[in-house]
Structure 1
Amino acid sequence: MPRPQQQFAVSIGKPRQTGAISILAAVSMAALLAAAMMAVDLGSLFYTKRELQKVADTAALSAVSDLPNAALIATDTASQNGFSIPGAHTNTMEVTTGRYDSTTPDGVYLGTFMPGGTDQNAVQVRVTTQQPYFFLVGTREIVATATATRTAVAGFSIGSGLLSIDTSQSILLNAILGKLLHTKLSLDAVSYQGLATAHVTLLDLVKADASVGTVDELLNADLTLADLMLLTANALGQDNIAYVNLLNLANLSVLGDLHLKLADLLKLSIADSNAAASAELNVLQLISLAAQVANGDNFLNVPITNVNLPGILSLDLALSLIEPPSIAIGPPGTDGNGEWLTQAHTAQARLKIDVKVLEMLGDVLHLPIYVELAQGNAWLKSVVCANPINNSTVTIGASSGIAGIYIGEINDDAMTNKETSATVEEAKILDVLGLLTVYAKAAIELPGGGGDLVFNGPFDDNNTQRISGIETAGLFTSLINSLSLRVEGVLGELIQIVLDLVAALLGLPPFTVADLLKQILALLVPVLQLLDAVLAPVLSLLGLQLGYADVTNFYLNCGVPRLVR
């Protein structure tokens, strides 16, 4: 039998799509090429942005060092970094000076830049360039902005300065400083001059004290006056002329009972106290003001007796300090409440002086003089930093308090009553065996002054300016001329009769005993003028002035430039 034939089914499928794959490949290649082109353009933009930001950063950091010339410095810095204006890409640069505040007075983060204003401490630089595309059509503007700031810190004092000390002045300084230190001193003029010309920085004191590691720790450490003397001596080193004197003072046992914190003397109104580390402090000023702080914040009575200018006069002087003066270091401007960030003040004080004439009139004449000094203040208004730093400008506002000087007897509690001023009544200034008694009273008010003081470098303790209400030259002459005299006693009556006869015979105007005594007292003016020379260094030692205020801008640190935005 023939085999049956096998039948095969043949299926016919879809045609092969080799052409579609080619199309997809072509499209993919085009997309990849477009992406690559876009990546090149975007990469170019990001690179340009990064380089432009470098230009803005370096320009702002350079310009903030000299705000008055910020635009010129920023342009020059940008040019040195290859950014010319307008250049091939229509480059632009905007430089704006202003103020940057990182926090509010309550410590809340702020971080704002305000253009313009007076208390400028920052600069903002905005640069632009037109970046052409490599593959796309046209250009794109690239912008970079940088804000840099630096916190300027200045140090100043009011009411004290360098002293030029002679032997007669050192007698009073020994009496004043000795009473402040609760001991007796016998330093000569050379020793005081050595202390007055010596300087020490806060960093020097930190290095000399093994128990502290920062300026903050030093300021808040509980020190005795002996500790401070020893630290200061070690900070100065053995080669300094003041070293031995300071060691001798440190060895006074009484100083161990007088404690203080330097923070109560040095008013640092800056967050980072290390910015004041290099401030140079006058050693004599540091010691005297520290002694006042250690003696308390209220009244300090310092009786001084038997202080003589041989052959001329003797003084009995009592001093009452209401509060110690301070040295201020900090930034310029005001806080959110309008209070000055950095300010210093002089102490209010009262002085009672009994001047007794010895050889001239047989110790029968004495003048009780009372001086009342009101408070003086200074505040740091603005700092304009420049390069070099001695071209910088520091503006300090200051006011001198009203002072009064009187001849007469004051009320018993005048030296201790801080609620009211003293009352001055007639004083018996002359008594000749009860036959001639003279009573006197005089008063001169010295008005306070005020204004802005502008300082340039060098910033050291010779950089002093004065706010004057009235000059004190001729003060005691004016005081004598203003005397109101009252004469009692038989001898006074007889002298008046004689004066009346002489006036009648010579045809002169009436001339009273009081007029005659004023002429005699006028002979004492050269003697009284010595008080100017004697009291000036004493008041300066205490940070006080009479009728004026000396402000010393002894330190300026323009800070380290830093980027903030």
Structure 2
Amino acid sequence: MSTVMAVLCLGLAVAALGAIDIGNLYFARREMQRTADLAASAGAQTISNGGGCASATQSAQNNALSGNGLPSSGTVTVVCGRWDPSANAGQSYFSTSGAPLNAVQVTVSETVPYFFMGPARVIQAVGTAEATNIRSFSLTTSVATLSGGLINGLLNGLFGSSLNLSVLSYQGLATTQIKLGDLATAIGAGSMSQLLSTNISVKNLVSAMITAASKSTTLGVTAITDLGTIEAAIPGGLNVALGNTSTTNGLLAVALDDPQAAANATISLLDALLVAAEIAQGQTAINLGTSLNLSPLASVTAQAKIIQPPVIAVGEAGQYPNGTWRTSAHSAQVQIYLNVSLVSQSLNLTYLGLPQLVNISLLSLPIYIEAGDGTAYLQSTQCTTQQTTSQSTIVATT
């Protein structure tokens, strides 16, 4: 009986010691995974800040060995590459090929001894982190070409309103940038994917823009008041899709495999307003005559039809493996009819020293214009810790 009990006790002791060894192994593995993940994150932030692979490797190694206490006996291997679900196989979606570089993969190895159950064992953990530089841009009216009368006429034609804002008001709207994440919160969308699947009235969109603008760090002095004026002038029944697809004209063309990464991207209030207005109007003819007031010399009849509205592009620089650009925007494709009628005038002129009265008869000049859309794509972008070295290259064709 005593022998049986001794055997049982010995078996229990061996099992207990084995459990301690296995538990220590899993604990070390968990700590190693944490080290690999944090080191990869540090490397990815460096590579996205324009430091290149060498700097990213150094950042990852320093983070693992100094910041997270990996023993000197451990090893850290850092590989730079690209995280891209559209081009690379899962589960990791990471590859050492592809451009631009946006990810770092860190492998941490360490020899972990068994206390009771045999020789040491080498274990490792792999962490992958991605940090993407995102840019947003559009091909719409720029601050340099703003004219209070012309842009008031354009918006009044699109909305059927009677706006009379100043050039300074429109400049304030153009320079105010709002985050897409703040816009999503204001609309009540729980994620960027929900935001992009939203259809909303233009009036409610402007109301959400007012809420998002209150959090902007570039808020124009009168931007919120001016948006309130515009919101009050917009009629009901004008709706806009927020996500642009192959079958739907939408406000935002987000070229990211993970749309949530666009939450911190910013767009101009004026760009958003103009693009939303042109989308909502559809292909209805717009009367622009009031915005081209050349009285008393001429009267102008002007109508425009937007065949394809513009879009605001949000995404990453570079090309897909098939050569197409990841992030591109286009301006509106329009048809315009103008009829310029010179009004009959009597002018006092001097000829050979004698006053002469000259009558100018009415001249009607009809003009038809069809303008194709211009396109632009994001060639490269670099975000660093210094504004002077942060830049994007956008290539446009008319």
Structure 1 position 122, deviation (Å): 2.0
Post-superposition Cα deviations, 1:100-156, rounded to whole Å, max 9, x if no partner, equal 344779xx9654321132133321112334556778998654433222234554322
Q: Distance in 2 between matches of 1:381 and 1:205?
A: 27
Q: How far is 1:327 from its partner?
A: 0.2
Q: Which has the larger radius of gyration?
A: 1
Paired position in structure 1 for 2:397: 400
Answer yes or no: is 1:283 the counterpart of 2:260: no
Match of 1:232 in 2: 209
Contact 2:173–2:220 (CA<8 Å) still a contact in 1?
Answer: no
Query: Which residue of the partner structure matches residue 558 of structure 1?
Result: none
What aligned pairs does 1:359-508 form with structure 2 within 5 A after superposition? 363=360, 372-380=370-378, 386=384, 394=392, 396=394, 398-401=395-398
> With CA pairs under 8 Å and 6+ residues apart, which has the higher RCO, 1 or 2?
1
Alpha-carbon distance in 2 for matches of 1:345, 1:123: 33
Structure 1: unaligned runs, 5 residues or longer: 1-20, 402-565
1:156 matched residue in structure 2: 137
Q: Which secondary structure state, in structure 1, belongs to the residue aligned with residue 332 of structure 2?
A: coil
C-alpha spacing 1:390/1:249, structure 2 compared with 1 (3 Å) = same
Q: 1:379 to 1:250 in 2, by over 3 A?
A: same
1:190 aligns with 2:168: yes
- Cα distance change of structure 1 residues 149 and 281 upon mapping to structure 2, 3 Å threshold: closer
- The counterpart of 1:118, out of the listed 79, 96, 99, is 99
Asked if structure 2 preserves the Cα contact closer than 8 Å seen for 1:319 and 1:351, the reply is yes
- Deviation digits for residues 325-369 of structure 1 (CA, Å, limit 9, x no counterpart): 100123455667665443221122345554859779965688877
TM-score, length-normalised on structure 1? 0.52
State yes or no: 1:180 paired with 2:146: no
Measured after TM superposition, the shift of residue 95 of structure 1 is 0.7
- CA 1:132/1:197 → structure 2, altered by over 3 Å: closer, same or farther? closer
Question: Aligned equivalents of 1:187 and 1:343: distance in 2?
Answer: 31
Distance in 2 between residues matched to 1:29 and 1:221, nearest whole Å: 67
* 2:58 counterpart of 1:72: yes
Q: Which residue of 2 aligns with 1:145?
A: 126
368-377 or 134-143: which moved more? 134-143
CA contact (8 A) 1:328 1:344 kept: yes
Tell me, yes or no, if structure 1 residue 83 matches structure 2 residue 64. no
The count of aligned residue pairs is: 366
Q: TM-score, normalised by structure 2?
A: 0.70
Corresponding residue of 1:345:
330
The Cα offsets for residues 482-522 of structure 1, whole Å up to 9 and x where unpaired, read as xxxxxxxxxxxxxxxxxxxxxxxxxxxxxxxxxxxxxxxxx
Report 1:267-278 matches (<5 A): 267-270=253-256, 273-278=259-264
Structure 2 stretches lacking a partner, 5+ long: 244-249, 350-357
Letter in 1 for 2:168: V
Indicate yes or no: 2:81 matched with 1:95.
no
Q: Quick one: distance in 1 between partners of 2:12 and 2:195?
A: 67
Q: CA deviation at 1:72?
A: 0.8
Partner of 1:55: 35
One-letter amino acid matched to 1:74: A
CA contact (8 A) 1:174 1:187 kept: yes
Cα–Cα, structure 1 residues 93 and 242, in superposed 2: closer, same or farther, change >3 Å? closer
C-alpha deviation, 1:59, in angstroms: 1.1
CA distance in 2, matches of 1:206, 1:46: 41
Residues 321 and 304 from structure 1, CA distance in 2 versus in 1: closer, same or farther, beyond 3 angstroms?
A: same
CA deviation after TM superposition for structure 1 residue 317, in Å: 4.5
The answer (yes or no) to whether the contact 1:200–1:281 under 8 Å persists in 2 is yes
Cα distance, 1:304 vs structure 2: 1.7
Q: Could you list the per-position Cα deviations for residues 212-242 of structure 1 after superposition, in whole angstroms to 9, with x for gaps in the alignment?
A: 5555555544433333334434554699513
* Alpha-carbon distance between aligned partners in 2 of 1:29 and 1:226, rounded to the nearest angstrom: 78
Output the CA distance in 2 between the equivalents of 1:399 and 1:239. Answer: 28
SS at match of 1:329: strand
Q: Secondary structure at the match of 1:66?
A: helix
**Secondary structure at 2:160's aligned position in 1?**
coil
Structure 1 residue 184 displacement after superposition:
3.5
Cα deviation digits, residues 436-474 of structure 1 (max 9, x gap): xxxxxxxxxxxxxxxxxxxxxxxxxxxxxxxxxxxxxxx
Which residue number corresponds to residue 323 of structure 1? 308
Q: Is the 8 A contact 1:176 1:304 kept in 2?
A: no
Q: Where does residue 226 of structure 2 map in the other structure? A: 245
Checking the alignment, whether the CA contact within 8 Å between 2:37 and 2:128 is kept in structure 1 is yes
Using the alignment, how far apart are the partners of 2:337 and 2:200 within structure 1? 32
Cα distance change of structure 1 residues 44 and 372 upon mapping to structure 2, 3 Å threshold = same
**369 and 219 in structure 1: CA distance in 2 versus 1, 3 angstrom threshold:** same
AA paired with 2:278?
A: Q
SS at match of 1:187: coil
Letter of the aligned partner of 2:77 in structure 1? E
Q: Call closer, same or farther: CA 1:79–1:269 in 2, change over 3 Å.
A: same
CA distance in 1 between partners of 2:326 and 2:269 (Å): 26
**Shift in alpha-carbon separation, 1:208–1:185, aligned structure 2, 3 A:** same
Q: 1:161 to 1:71 in 2, by over 3 A?
A: same
Residue pair 1:306, 1:314 contacting (<8 A) in 2 also: no
71 and 219 in structure 1: CA distance in 2 versus 1, 3 angstrom threshold: closer
Q: 1:258 — aligned with what?
A: 238
Counterpart in 1 of 2:353? none
Change (3 A) 1:312 1:49: same
In the superposition, relative to structure 1, how do residues 174 and 196 fare at CA in structure 2: closer, same or farther (>3 Å)? same
Which SS does the other structure have where 1:262 is aligned? strand
Q: Secondary structure in 2 aligned to 1:65?
A: helix
